[in-house]
Structure 1
Amino acid sequence: MLDKLVGLSMLLVATTVFFYYTVWTILMPFVDDDHSLHSFFPPRVWAIRIPVILILLGIAVVGSFLSTVMIRSNRKKALKTKQAKSS
């Protein structure tokens, strides 16, 4: 029951973010600059900056994870070879 609720809430958040970003990037350039609808959205330059920042952050997190896994794996291999040589 809880997993369905979490999945539904994640789907709702993703749909909301997708709808907001789509309206902001695709529809708002066709709305007059003095319209009150522009007050609900940040400046257009952030439509590019936000995804770029998120992509760079994601690459950094994945790269850090992979490097720590590789370092731990190499340490285990080195320990095994050291134990095999001492036996």
Structure 2
Amino acid sequence: MELADRAVGLILTLTSLSPLVDSDHFVHKYFLPQEYAILIPVYAAVALICFLSVFIGYVMLKSKKKKA
């Protein structure tokens, strides 16, 4: 298990160095553009909030129909 932890640590260290290399370095072709670092979490948060809102609304409507 220790070897796997070291391998994961090495991979994380190498990928975290990608902003520190030149922009024309071959490493950059393996990563998404920097805009996605903001867009992906924002879209995921909006989707989660929408899902939770629909779910809570559905549960509230179901509980209201049971009482009536």
Q: CA RMSD in A?
A: 1.7
- Structure 2: which 5+ runs fail to align? 1-7
- Name the one with the larger helix percent: 1
Identity %: 39
Q: Segments of 4+ in structure 1 off by > 3 A? A: none
Distance 1:77 1:28 in 2: 58
Query: Normalised by the size of structure 1, how large is the TM-score?
Result: 0.57
Distance 1:28 1:50 in 2: 19
Query: Normalised by the size of structure 2, how large is the TM-score?
Result: 0.72
Q: CA deviation at 1:45?
A: 0.6
2:53 aligned to which of 45, 58, 63 = 63
Residues 14-68 of structure 1 show CA distances to partners (whole Å, capped at 9, x for unaligned) of x8xxx5xxx3xx5332121000000011110111100110011011111111110
Distance 2:61 2:37 in 1: 37
Task: Point out the structure with max Rg over C-alpha.
Answer: 1
- Structure 1 match to 2:20: 30
Higher relative contact order (CA 8 A, sep 6+): 1
For 1:34, give the aligned amino acid: D
- Structure 1: which 5+ runs fail to align? 1-14, 79-87
- Structure 1 match to 2:33: 43
- Structure 2 match to 1:5: none
